[in-house]
Amino acid sequence: MVSKSSIFGDTVKLRKDVLPHVTVREWNVLGKNNDRVILIRHTPKGRAVEVVRENDIDWEKYPRKNIS
């Protein structure tokens, strides 16, 4: 796996084997703390926050835009 890094505000997806009890797979990056990524999901009832490791993100599904 190529190492990538998420950027504040990006939308990322969790790998299928990470937090299998959480049905929502797509999250927004709120920030980073060492090797942990803080994710947030806005819902009709409020907000949910999860903290995961960089390698918990499915980088194959990461829609990084090419910056030229």
Q: What's the confidence (pLDDT) of residue 3?
A: 42
The reported pTM is 0.67
> Cα(36)–Cα(68) distance, rounded to whole angstroms?
28
For 22-65, write each residue's pLDDT tens digit.
Answer: 888 888 888 888 778 888 887 777 787 888 888 888 888 776 55
Q: What are the structural domain ranges in the chain?
A: 11-61
Q: Residues 3-25: what's their mean pLDDT?
A: 81
Instruction: Tell me the three-class secondary structure of the chain, residue by residue.
Output: CCCCCCCCCCEEEECCCCCCCCCCCEEEEEEEECCEEEEEEEECCEEEEEEEEHHHECHHHCCCCCCC
